[in-house]
Amino acid sequence: MKFFIDTANLAQIQEAHDLGILDGVTTNPSLMAKEGVKGADAIIEHYRKICEIVDGDVSAEVFSTKFEDIIEEGKKLAAIHKKIIVKVPMIKDGVKAIKWFTDNGIATNCTLVFSAGQAILAAKAGAKYVSPFVGRIDDSGWDGMELVSQITHIYQLQNYKTEVLVASIRNPNHIIRAAELGADVITSPLSSILGLLYHPLTDIGLAKFLEDAKKM
């Protein structure tokens, strides 16, 4: 399972990269705005900086919702760097645009996916990645991982090549569950990735080893 970090924060991307486990980055308009990135030139420059840090795919989301506009914006994003994956929302014009990008050699990540039906459409249109938002589903009182289970099952049965990218991760357990369900990728905040590191017995055990090491 690939590990992507879900942020536009350069320091966090660098930290995850330095840990040696980073396979890519996903961003969205909210995450870019959080970093204070404003204006076309600044956006392009920020994506370039991300691409220079990470060895892997970098999802950059379109702001447009009409087919022709999505195509124009997606072409510009894809031209920034070969690592860029054009992130397109799961709407009617988005599905049409994903198909166009697929036919024209531009890789896509279909975002804002909340149902198996949407995931089937994303795969049919040829998206490289499909992004079910597990945390937001959990926040609404449903079970995000149930959807991941459904999508991975359907994709396997139908031999769809689209990779299941579990997004909207809220905690380390989401990452573990995604791995158990055979997801291809998770995209997570740095805190949940680092959360995988910790166990109290590791801390207790290490403290004892270090104490005993002084006696050697």
Q: Taking CB under 6 A as the rule, does residue 118 contact ligand G3P?
A: no
Q: Does 135 bind ligand G3P (CB under 6 A)?
A: yes
- Contact range with ligand G3P by CB under 6 A, out of 8-16, 133-141, 145-153, 202-210: 133-141
82 is catalytic: no
Helices vs strands, H then E, count in the chain: 11, 8
Tokens of 106: 């531009």
Tokens read off for 97 = 């645009």
Contact yes or no for 126/117 (Cβ under 8 A): no
* Of the residues 133, 145, 185, 186, which one makes contact with ligand G3P according to CB under 6 A: 133
167 binds ligand G3P (CB under 6 A): yes
CB of residue 109 to ligand G3P, shortest distance in Å: 9
Q: Which of 83, 87, 99, 214 is catalytic?
A: 87
Q: Is 136 in the site for ligand G3P (CB under 6 A)?
A: yes
CB 42 within 8 A of CB 24: no
Task: Find the distance separating the first CA and the last CA of the chain, reported in whole Å.
Answer: 41
Q: Which is nearest to 16 in space by CA: 53, 58, 48, 47?
A: 53
Kindly list the residues in this chain that would bind ligand G3P in the complex (CB under 6 A).
6, 26, 28, 133, 135-136, 167-168, 187
- Catalytic amino acids? 87
